[in-house]
Every structure is written in structure tokens, then in C-alpha cells.
């Protein structure tokens, strides 16, 4: 058994209150397992997620960040996720341009009914991040303890 030496990533998931957070709850209700390393932060809408939060998470040692919101057109606030989509498209592209592994950051639309999708997404994302290994390119060494 090598489990103890295995790399366990740290993943921050920003979930909008109305769809994705509820989707995560549904995954819980249905006991659909996903890795412990996924930690959810509740935000009112995916458009509340500032790129600063994402970079801060990476700086502080997160290995992957995923943003989840309502499907386009279903935003509780009618247009919030459309802004998220533009902001994240540009941010993801920029991080990629700087040579950051694009698999470390992702955006998924998860509705309140998609508990299974939430769990599957988290499993898949964790797997992808685990395959990449530790986040070295975006980490701030001073934050390491």
C-alpha cells in the first residue's frame, strides 16, 4: 500500500447559492461520493467570484479551482453567469498564456437537479488535478508552512 505517500490535491470549489450549491447538496442527499479534497465556498452567484479569489487560492496552495454556476439562461439573477462566462473565458485564457496548466482551473454549469453531475465533475476534476501533481507554478512559497 502506497496510499500514504499518494499526492492529495487541495481543491476549492466556488458554488453559486441557487444552482450549484443546491446541486452539491443533492449529491449529498443521494450519497454520491466525491473526494474529500473538494472544499466548497458558497457565493450568491458565480458572478461574485472575483479572479482575485481564484489567484489567492492558488497563491495559498490550492492545486485546483473550480467555479460552478447555474446553466446559462437559468441564472437566479438573470444575467450573472453570462458575465462569469466572459470573465472566466478571459482569465482562463490568460493563465494558459502564462503557461499555467489549464487543467487546474475549470468552470462547470451545474443545476440544482444535477447532483450526479456535480459528483462526477468533482471526481473527474480531482483526477485531472491529481495527475498534474502539486501546483508549483502559481504557489507563493511564503504561504507554505
Site for other proteins in 64-123 (CB under 8 A): 72-73, 76-80, 82-83, 85-102, 106-108, 119
State the nearest-atom distance from the C-beta of 25 to other proteins, in Å. 4
Grid cell for residue 88: 472566466
Q: How far apart are CA 30 and CA 28, in angstroms?
A: 5
Reading across the β-sheet that carries 11-16, which strands appear in turn? 38-43, 11-16, 64-69, 105-109
Applying CB under 8 A, does 1 fall inside the site for other proteins?
no
C-alpha distances in Å from residue 57, one per residue of 104, 114, 116, 125:
12, 26, 26, 16
Applying CB under 8 A, does 4 fall inside the site for other proteins?
no
Q: Which of 27, 68, 110, 129 binds other proteins (CB under 8 A)?
A: 27
Residues 37-56 interacting with other proteins (rule: CB under 8 A) = 39-45, 47-53, 55-56
- Total residues binding other proteins (CB under 8 A): 76
Amino acid at each position: 500500500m502506497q496510499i500514504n505517500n499518494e499526492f492529495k490535491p487541495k481543491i476549492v470549489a466556488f458554488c453559486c447559492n441557487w444552482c450549484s450549491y443546491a446541486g452539491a447538496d443533492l449529491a449529498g442527499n443521494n450519497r454520491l461520493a466525491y473526494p474529500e479534497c473538494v472544499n466548497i465556498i458558497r457565493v450568491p452567484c458565480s458572478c461574485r467570484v472575483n479572479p482575485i479569489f481564484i489567484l489567492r487560492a492558488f497563491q495559498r496552495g490550492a492545486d485546483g479551482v473550480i467555479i460552478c454556476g447555474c446553466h446559462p439562461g437559468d441564472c437566479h439573477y438573470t444575467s450573472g453567469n453570462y458575465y462569469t462566462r466572459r470573465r472566466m473565458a478571459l482569465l482562463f485564457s490568460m493563465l494558459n498564456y502564462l503557461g499555467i496548466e489549464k487543467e487546474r482551473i475549470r468552470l462547470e454549469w451545474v443545476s440544482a437537479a444535477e447532483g450526479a453531475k456535480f459528483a462526477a465533475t468533482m471526481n473527474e476534476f480531482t483526477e485531472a488535478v491529481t495527475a498534474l501533481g502539486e501546483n508549483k507554478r502559481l504557489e507563493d512559497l511564503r504561504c507554505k508552512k
